[in-house]
Amino acid sequence: MKIHKIITCLIIFLFIFTSNYLVFADDEDLEIFNNISSVINASSQIDEEPKINSRAAIVYDRNSGLILFGKNENEKRKMASTTKILTAIIVLEKAKLDDIVTVSQKAAGTGGSRLGLHKNDKISVLNLLYGLLLCSGNDAAVALAEHVGGDLPGFAEMMNEKCKSLGLNSSHFVTPHGLDDEEHYTTAYELAIITNYALNNQTFRNIVGTKTHTISINGYSKTISNTNELLGNLDGVYGVKTGFTNGANRCLVTAVKRGNMDLICIVLGADTKKDRTKDSVSLIEYVFKNFEMVNIKEKIITEFENWKLCNSSSFLISKGVSNSIDINLDEIPFDYVPINKNQINNISIYIYCNKNFEAPVLSGSNIGYLTLSISDKTILTLNIKATNTISKKETNNFFSEMLKDYIFYLESIFFK
């Protein structure tokens, strides 16, 4: 009996000890990873716009900012651990990667998915970021938030300030980990903006693109794995983050690049992990099969230059010293746009430019605009600007200038 009790106590002790240091997958995790190939193969066969289980979704083109697919993409929703995308970027912009963090009791006691931290553990910011983004450690999230923001409210303030700077109006953050809170929400669209911003940080991009990584806690090594089931299994995927809470259901943010098409696919509120995988793959494959990259920069420049050729002599500057005005377009922000193959013939460019002015006309003045539309939906508007200044004629020389103009007119008739 004594031996039996001792063995039982040892088993309980080992379970308690290791549960903080090992990251276990639940049954559904194992099911998805064992069947990931069949899920991907089945979901890749869809040619038509897919019907998805997820409550909200978006496919966002990183180069142009266009929405290629949307379902309730502007609806405010809980987003679970996809919150950690913003947590990571705040930390990367505010902290040094080699800073050593001493883990607090609050961080060590945080529930849900964990890296496995104990009170007074010492770990670098970089290793905490791997724990945050690979195994989705809520304990790592709190440790980082306390290190950077002093406390969780202070860090949440930083998160919301970053949202404001990105022009986001439908997001509000109160935690660094995304555990359910009625005041913690975003939209699929605004989460795409946050993710796009984060992916411009090379350190963030490197971390979310890592399948497994060995970190150090108190000088001891520990290997952790990425929870993103599509990373390494679907062509072109290079990140970014999974999420689950009872309130948010299953969530997945995916970055995928093939050729010069670079996409962010987000699904929020899927019923199961299999649904979120299936939905993500279906949306990604649908876009790559049905959209084509079109060089709209070339089309815009050609159309604008032809318009200038036909209209450059049509400007009239009342009381100006000249009618010769030079014009140019705003810089075109991107070269290529993914366009549905069925809509490529529906691209239209419209140019409006005022031709009658009263001097002075200043260099840099907006005098018109160009729009590019697809099936009557405007996707780009560019200003047309004057690139030279047309001064106003001086009053005392008004009649002499008129005389010069008249002489010039007569010469053009009789001596041309």
Q: Is 56:77 a contact under the CB 8 Å cutoff?
A: yes
383 φ/ψ angles, rounded to the nearest 5 degrees: -80, 145
Interatomic CA distance for residues 357 and 354, integer angstroms: 8
HSE-CB for 60 with a 13 A CA cutoff: 24
Catalytic residue among 71, 84, 273, 393: 84
Q: Are 208 and 239 in contact (CB under 8 A)?
A: yes
Q: Is 81 a catalytic residue?
A: yes
Q: Which residue do the tokens 């952790």 mark?
A: 224
CA distance 283 to 292: 15
182 sits in which H/E element: none
Question: What DSSP designation does 169 have?
Answer: S
**DSSP assigned state of 165:** H
Kind and range of the H or E run holding 261: strand 261-270
320: DSSP letter:
B
Burial of 250 (0-12, 13-18, 19+ CB in 10 A): buried
Output the six-digit token pair for 51. Answer: 């019907």
Catalytic residue check, 314: no
Give the CA-trace dihedral at 308, 312, 317, 321, to 10 degrees.
Answer: 120
Residue 54 near residue 71, CB atoms below 8 Å: yes
Q: Which residue is catalytic, options 43, 64, 81, 171?
A: 81
- Give yes or no for a contact between 359 and 390, defined as CB atoms under 8 angstroms apart: yes
Phi-psi bin for 86: left (phi > 0), alpha (psi -120 to 50), beta? Answer: alpha
Q: Which two tokens stand for residue 156?
A: 């949440």
Query: Which residue type occupies 267?
Result: V
Residue with tokens 């290529």: 336
Instruction: Using DSSP, state whether 211 is helix, strand or coil.
Output: coil
- 136 is known as an active-site residue: yes
CA 394 – CA 400 distance, rounded (Å)? 10
Annotated catalytic residue: which of 136, 171, 282, 365? 136
Q: Tokens at residue 136, please?
A: 């989705």
How far CA 362 is from CA of 249, 367, 385, in Å, comes to 57, 10, 10
Q: Which residues are catalytic?
A: 81, 84, 136
